[in-house]
Amino acid sequence: MPVPASTPAIGVLAVQGDVREHVKVLTRLGVDAFTVRRPAELDRCDGLVLPGGESTTMAKLARTFELFDPLVERIRGGLPTFGTCAGMIMLADRIEDGIAGQETLGGLDITVRRNAFGRQVDSFEGDIDVAGLDDPVHAVFIRAPWVEEVGPAVDVLATVPEGPAAGRIVAVRQGSVMATSFHPEVGDDDRVHRYFVDLVQQS
Ligand code: GLN
Counting from 1 in the atom list of ligand 1, the atom nearest the Cα of 98 is 4
Please give the distance, rounded to the nearest whole angstrom, from the Cα atom of residue 17 to the centre of ligand 1: 9
Residue type, 139: A
pLDDT at 5: 55
Please give the distance, rounded to the nearest whole angstrom, from the Cα atom of residue 52 to the centre of ligand 1: 6
Please give the distance, rounded to the nearest whole angstrom, from the Cα atom of residue 80 to the centre of ligand 1: 21
What distances in angstroms separate CA 48 from CA 7, 58, 81, 176, 182, one per listed residue?
A: 14, 15, 5, 11, 17
Counting from 1 in the atom list of ligand 1, the atom nearest the Cα of 55 is 10
pLDDT at 164: 85
Instruction: Output the tens digit of pLDDT for each of the chain's 203 residues.
Output: 455 557 999 999 999 999 999 999 999 999 999 999 999 999 999 999 999 999 999 999 999 999 999 999 999 999 999 999 999 999 999 999 999 999 999 999 999 999 998 865 678 899 999 999 999 999 999 999 999 999 999 999 999 999 889 999 999 999 999 999 999 999 889 999 999 999 999 98
**HEC profile of 163-177:** CCCCCCEEEEEECCE
Cβ–Cβ < 8 Å for 168, 160: yes
Could you tell which of 89, 90, 102, 117 is best to mutate to test the pocket of ligand 1, judged by most ligand atoms within 8 Å of the CB?
Answer: 89
For residue 107, the SS3 value is: coil
Counting from 1 in the atom list of ligand 1, the atom nearest the Cα of 115 is 1
Residues 15 and 111: their CA atoms lie apart, in Å, by 24
Please give the distance, rounded to the nearest whole angstrom, from the Cα atom of residue 76 to the centre of ligand 1: 23
Class of domain 9-202: alpha beta
Residues 154 and 110: their CA atoms lie apart, in Å, by 8
Q: 41 CB less than 6 Å from ligand 1? A: no
Active-site positions read 85, 183, 185
Q: 67 CB less than 6 Å from ligand 1? A: no
Counting from 1 in the atom list of ligand 1, the atom nearest the Cα of 114 is 4
Q: 87 CB less than 6 Å from ligand 1? A: no
